[in-house]
Structure 1
Amino acid sequence: MGKKEVVIVSSLDSGKMPRCDMIGQQIHYISTGNVDGTDERCENLGWKKLEQYVPSQRGWQYLDSQLVDGSVQDESFWAEDDLTDEDYFPSLPFASLFSSCKAKGLKVTCLFCFCSEGDNMQDALLLAEAVYKFIGKCSSTSLGNRNTDWAIPLSWKTVYGPPPDMSMF
């Protein structure tokens, strides 16, 4: 379709976040920019590569081999009883999309934010700002400091019901 680069945006389960990442920058990434998943542009923006992306791990190898060979995926791989924690991230939907684009020779960057269950509107806005920054629409110092008036989907306004009546506090 003539596209040269794809940006995938996804949330990740905050329960899988490394403890050392609990403070600081919330945006993580993986990219096809380098074999190890790093990308200079993302590093310059102050983002961390997703530590759990290790291309030599069997889940990532499985995805790559299935997509490069063009063979039908053997679903029994994901049903095995010996799946480990390292197989968690390759089993997520973003991983298949990432590997598919990679197999087609596209430059792909996935941007992630670890989220908890509940109201993730701020996380979604953080990811939107990250994409905006990544594609060069705002300066590297303005992420999180811009008061962008994003068009918030109407469905978000009632997901958790109306705001509480503040007079009861």
Structure 2
Amino acid sequence: MEFVLEEGKRLHEECSTLILPALSIGNVGQLAVDLLVSSTGAERVGYLDDPNVLPCVGNDAYGPVPQGELALPLEAYDSSSNALTLLQQRSPVVKGKMVELAKNLADFAAASGKKHIVLLSGLDFGKWQKVDMSSGLQIYYLSSTNSDGTDDYCKHLGWKRLQDFNPDQKCWKYLTDLAEGTAVREDDLSLEDELEDEDYYPSLPFASLFSFFKARGLKVTCLLCYCSEGDNLPDAYHLAEATCELLSLSPSNFLGSGGGKWLVPFSWKTLYGPPPDLSIF
């Protein structure tokens, strides 16, 4: 992985917190990062070139007037006023290369002086059988603070630790061994094996990222919400608001907030295409 700085830009040392999405159902993590980048007025300082992410290119996602700036697969944004670096991922990971990408991103974070990593991701609502949704949208978390994934501050915020997390479970243990460089025996689990229900969470991208960031000695907090494919904008707002709660940020102080309101990214105007032709009704 190579980090390329924009001309005339630099990484701000005070930006010790890194926020990034872990790709999953509904792209909720990516949408939440879009919302945070747009609302904080973060500036793009560079991009990451990694062979484990599929190439893509598109128009500027945030500017209403074309400036000739292209959106790339892995972009880094700094919001120095909020001490944040936000990493946006716009294309999928090459099949079977999630572990390699997680290792590279963890190396980048450690080398650039990051102290706290916040991972944002959606979870399949099809697993809701074990989830109490009576109170509406909920945030679940997983933290590196304690070995069992708990964190007193997250608990204070009213969030629940990701259910069924067990660091000794075979898939979680396998990821930990890979991240820590422990030799894996030939008869140990491979992530390419057929997975059971208990293997769902550790099979997701956030689990690989969590394991590798943690192995680098970084504090890691995963913020997760259950969703389905479709219009996931409410979930993105919910996840972005939870991020602000975690980091004690106030959206009313964001550069682009406009009096406490989130600044909707320009690219969202065409997120789900044009409205239907009303003449068909």
Q: Taking structure 2 as the reference length, what is the TM-score of the superposition?
A: 0.52
Could you tell me how far 1:156 is from its partner in structure 2? 1.9
Are 2:159 and 1:22 aligned?
Answer: no
Which structure: greater strand fraction? 2
Residue from 161, 174, 182 that aligns with 1:49: 161
1:18 to 1:54, Cα distance in 2 relative to 1, 3 A: farther
Unpaired segments ≥5 residues, structure 1: 139-146
Equivalent residue for 1:9, pick from 120, 131, 135: 120
Q: Counterpart of 2:191 in 1: which secondary structure?
A: helix
* Structure 2 residue aligned with 1:78: 191
Distance change >3 Å, CA 167–CA 23, structure 1 → 2: farther
- 1:85 Cα shift? 0.8
Q: CA distance change for structure 1 residues 168 and 46 in 2, over 3 Å: closer, same or farther?
A: farther
Paired position in structure 2 for 1:33: 145
Residue deviations 1:29-60 (CA, integer Å, cap 9, x gap): 00011110000110000000010321111110
Spell out, residue by residue over 1:72-117, the C-alpha distance to the aligned partner (whole angstroms, 9 max, x if none). 9x8x712223x21111111111111100011001110000111111
Q: Return the letter of the residue paired with 2:180.
A: V
Q: What displacement does 1:19 show?
A: 3.8
The equivalent of 1:142 in structure 2 is none
Gaps of 5+ in 2: 1-111, 251-258
| Inter-partner Cα distance in structure 2 for 1:118 and 1:137 | 29
Q: Which residue of 2 aligns with 1:118?
A: 230
Does 1 or 2 have the higher relative contact order (CA < 8 Å, sep 6+)? 1
1:64 aligned onto 2:166 = no
Tell me the matched-pair count.
161
Alignment partner, residue 150 of structure 1:
262
Judging by fraction of residues, say which structure has more helix.
Answer: 1
Question: 1:162, CA displacement in angstroms?
Answer: 3.7
* 1:80 aligned counterpart, secondary structure: coil
- SS of aligned partner of 2:238: helix
- 1:129–1:69 distance in 2 versus 1, CA, 3 Å: same
In structure 1, how many angstroms separate the alpha carbons of the residues matched to 2:260 and 2:165?
32
| Paired residue secondary structure (2:243) | helix
Q: Please give the alpha-carbon distance, in whole angstroms, between the structure 1 residues aligned to 2:179 and 2:277.
A: 53
CA distance in 2, matches of 1:71, 1:132: 39
Give the distance between the partners of 1:123 and 1:154, measured in 2 at CA.
18
Q: Bigger shift: 22-31 or 43-52?
A: 22-31
User: Normalising by structure 1, what TM-score?
Assistant: 0.83
Q: 1:148 to 1:121 in 2, by over 3 A?
A: farther
